[in-house]
A and B are shown apart, each in its own frame.
Chain A
Amino acid sequence: GDSVTQMEGPVTLSEEAFLTINCTYTATGYPSLFWYVQYPGEGLQLLLKATKADDKGSNKGFEATYRKETTSFHLEKGSVQVSDSAVYFCALSGTSYGKLTFGQGTILTVHP
């Protein structure tokens, strides 16, 4: 079945540092890929998505490129802020009815 693997956390960075959170997936066919973010005490919000190979999703300075050859969708940001502290989830949707398969989540903490 479908699966998503994220890098182990937590990740702790200083403000303005470069961020990478790795995500790899296993799926049949051509899934769509997503990054969701969860701020403390809240539900998940879509951060960005890519629906086909080589697509780049971007939002709020975050980027991720759909790499079919490496089955990866790594999240990057050039300069993180304290307000980026949250839990980040990689997810895929490859079956009918849009059901999402999530990675385990990566906790990001950014210090001033």
Chain B
Amino acid sequence: DAGITQSPRHKVTETGTPVTLRCHQTENHRYMYWYRQDPGHGLRLIHYSYGVKDTDKGEVSDGYSVSRSKTEDFLLTLESATSSQTSVYFCAISGMGASASVEQFFGPGTRLTVL
């Protein structure tokens, strides 16, 4: 299995508080992604990174920011959490270049509840 960990695995927070989720990989893969999973929507891309300090927005990026200062770590930040951001968040990695045929490996997920 690809070496991907996410922390925390579960978090409950209150509306308006900042939250940072961490994705850590030991595979030295170049590409990293953050998705959120919600019933009826499958997984939707929030942000992705194609290298250290190189990031871009996905389809549901409003209210989220990311940072990647090292190859192995990709952080997702909710600056001011809202109840609509209650979800399960998955990190994924891909390493074989920008080819569309390349598999992504997924982390175990973080369940975030915003009260």
Bound-state CA distance A94–B101 (Å) is 9
When each residue 22-35 of chain B gets 1 if its CB lies under 8 Å from chain A and 0 otherwise, what string results? 00000000010101
Whether the Cβ atoms of A43 and B108 lie closer than 8 Å is yes
Residues of chain B lying within 8 A (CB to CB) of residue A89: 42-43
Known: A43-B109, A89-B43. A97 touches B98 (CB 8 A): yes
Report B10 CB to chain A, min CB distance, Å. Answer: 11
When each residue 32-45 of chain A gets 1 if its CB lies under 8 Å from chain B and 0 otherwise, what string results? 10101000001111
Residues of chain B lying within 8 A (CB to CB) of residue A94: 100
Report whether over half of chain B's contact residues are helix, strand or loop; otherwise say mixed.
strand
Known: A97-B48, A98-B98, A99-B33. A46 touches B108 (CB 8 A): no
Binds B, one of A13-21, A76-84, A101-109: A101-109
Q: Is B74 an interface residue (CB 8 A)?
A: no
Name B residues whose Cβ lies closer than 8 Å to a Cβ of A. 4, 31, 33, 35, 40-45, 48, 50, 56, 58, 90, 92, 94, 98-109
Name A residues whose Cβ lies closer than 8 Å to a Cβ of B. 4, 6, 31-32, 34, 36, 42-46, 49, 51, 89, 91, 93-105
